[in-house]
């Protein structure tokens, strides 16, 4: 049976569903000659067949199978658990936003201290997982979405194919996007102030969607002509980003006046009930602004704003360490992807032969 790629308006649950289906297929295909208690495997299959509610359940089911003698399942579950943590943290709205560059970033972060053999297991798991989704997803019209993940060149594992570059806006498109934010016809004045502030924070600083949605009032302070923003990144690692006050002052003041008096965890951004916004909502707003202003990219989600910021930052600064610090990357190699957009260096290659 085939399923829609995004059958719910909830990225974490969609991702968990496909991991559940993938593990179910693996339990049915792995060699079971060492299995001591076949009832345990049957119980695990039943749990997966009827669906699970959280990633911890998947981990426990695989542990149950491993203890019963199905050793090979551990090769797949550990990378998938880490992948789930990584992708849900990024604040994606759709599985279609996952691309090769994003997966290579994941591999760089989570396998840097691992052996080559384990790195290969991680790569194999990602290839198998997304290959499985390629074959099993189908929309109402009978069409399938194909990720075509190859991962032929990452870290210390080299292949014939180079990296796929992420989608990003050039400087002209960024200006159009910013103008589009200001002119976009949001339904209500308070939502307009909130959404403009949110999108500007992301595009001007390159912070992740999840980092923006987790900001608290106390995290934003005015320091002369700048706002200092304390961000909690992956692993709860703190960093500080800056934004010119003139770029967000009006929207910030307007939203603070509109913002409900009782807000969950004192969050900066919330809905009318004071609850946290969803990452899917932010990506929908980004896509609407992009399309309204005639900006079309392969990936239209909110994460593309982060790529655009990082690309322009490197082009203007030529400082890879600055890009790493601004984005909160744990490894400099993760930031190195943005050196591929250096047009000035490319132009120098044209001077070799007259």
Catalytic center residues: 208, 234, 303, 306, 329, 338
What is the 3 state secondary structure string of the chain? CCECCCCCCCHHHHHHHHHHHHHHHHHHHCCCCCCCCHHHHHHHHHHHHHCCCCHHHHHHHHHHHHHCCCHHHHHHHHHHHHHHHHHHHHCCCCHHHCCHHHHHHHHHHHHCCCCHHHHHHHHHHHHHHHHHHHHHECCCCCCCCCCCCCCCCECCECCCCCCCCCCCCCHHHHHHHHHHHHHCCCCCHHHHHHHHHHHHHHHHHCCCHHHHHCCEHHHEEEECCEEEEEEECHHHCEEEEEEEHHHHHHHHHHHHHHCCCCCHHHECCECCCCCECCHHHHHHHHHHHHHHCCCCCCCCCCHHHHHHHHHHHHHHHCCHHHHHHHHCCCCHHHHHHHHHHCHHHHHHHCCCCC
């Amino acid at each position: 049976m085939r399923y829609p790629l995004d059958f719910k308006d909830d990225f974490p649950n969609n991702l968990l569903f496909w991991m559940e289906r993938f593990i179910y297929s693996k339990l049915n295909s792995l060699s079971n000659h060492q299995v001591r208690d076949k009832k345990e495997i049957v119980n695990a299959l039943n749990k997966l067949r009827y669906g699970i509610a959280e990633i911890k359940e998947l981990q426990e089911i695989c542990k149950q199978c491993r203890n019963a003698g199905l050793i090979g399942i551990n090769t797949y579950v550990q990378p998938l658990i880490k992948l789930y943590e990584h992708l849900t943290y990024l604040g994606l709205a759709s599985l279609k936003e996952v691309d090769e560059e994003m997966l290579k970033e994941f591999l760089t972060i989570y396998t840097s201290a691992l052996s080559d053999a384990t790195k290969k297991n991680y790569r194999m798991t990602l290839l198998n997982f997304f290959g499985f989704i390629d074959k099993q997803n189908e929309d109402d019209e009978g069409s399938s979405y194909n990720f075509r993940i190859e991962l032929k060149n990452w870290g210390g594992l080299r292949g014939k194919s180079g990296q796929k570059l992420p989608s990003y806006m050039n400087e002209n498109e960024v200006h159009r996007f910013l103008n589009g934010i200001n002119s976009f016809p949001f339904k209500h004045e308070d939502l307009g102030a909130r959404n403009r502030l949110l999108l500007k924070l992301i595009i001007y600083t390159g912070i992740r969607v999840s980092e923006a949605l987790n900001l608290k009032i106390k995290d934003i302070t005015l320091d002369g002509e700048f706002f200092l923003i304390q961000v909690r990144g992956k692993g709860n690692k703190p960093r500080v980003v800056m934004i010119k006050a003139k770029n967000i002052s009006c929207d910030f003041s307007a939203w603070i006046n509109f913002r409900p008096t009782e807000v969950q965890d004192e969050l900066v951004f919330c809905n009318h009930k004071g609850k946290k916004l969803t990452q899917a909502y932010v990506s929908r707003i980004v896509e609407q602004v992009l399309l309204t202003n005639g900006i079309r990219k392969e990936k239209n989600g909110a994460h593309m704003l982060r790529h655009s910021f990082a690309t322009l930052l490197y082009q203007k600064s030529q400082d890879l360490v600055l890009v790493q610090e601004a984005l909160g990357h744990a490894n400099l190699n993760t930031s190195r992807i943005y050196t591929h957009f250096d047009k000035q260096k490319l132009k120098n290659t044209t001077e070799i032969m007259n």
